Amino acid sequence: MSRYLRLLVGAMALGACSSTPSQPVADFNPADMLDMGVDMFGVVADIPHRQYLGETIAAGNNQVPTVYRWLAELTLLDRGSTDVQISVQDLQAAGLPLLDQGTQLDFVGGMYEPVRYRLAGTLTRISISQLYDVRLTVDWQLYDTETESMVFTGSSDGFARGQNLGLTGMRPNAMLDSFQNCLGKLFGQDDFAAAIAPAGVPG
């Protein structure tokens, strides 16, 4: 069986699994996608400024919860906030392929890998709870360079539980693991798998 088919079968099996925390996290990264003819060139964030993302609390009694909010821009109000403010730069530090704030997705005017499909996404949700459970939602678009058309649009959710959020670059971290889980579930969707399946794959 070719590496392409092994990856595709593995991703589809992952999609058939439950998304409960007991399930293993998918280790699906851009290198895997290039082997399948897909260039995942970036993700943009579309989360309202100061959006509540959740909270965590350390073990023990009388602990004050840590509240997380999304930081899309820095204002005087935000400078005095006691909440932990998560920005695009924090997710980049955690290892997520986030494009800079304000960047627009462009499927034809950038620098891409020499493969047929171009994949990009919009991060629409981050949910943080416990210490540390992370859930992400990404809306995806897949562009086919041969037909010059969008051949798939859809979303997937990711979940991971870890020892840290990775906002200062620590690895492994729950934020990156959740994103990789989100990617694995995307590749496990039948419609997405059909969109990237070539007419014939060598064994």
Listed residue (182, 178, 183) closest to 165, CA to CA: 178
pLDDT per residue over 139-185, tens digit each? 999 999 999 999 999 999 999 999 999 999 999 999 999 999 999 99
pLDDT per residue over 69-102, tens digit each? 999 987 777 777 889 999 999 999 999 999 999 9
Residue ranges of domains in the chain: 3-196
Confidence tier at 64 by pLDDT (50, 70, 90): confident
pTM equals 0.84
Q: What angle do CA 192, 174, 39 make, to 5 degrees?
A: 35
Reply yes or no on whether the pLDDT at 198 is more than 90.
no
d(CA 27, CA 8): 13
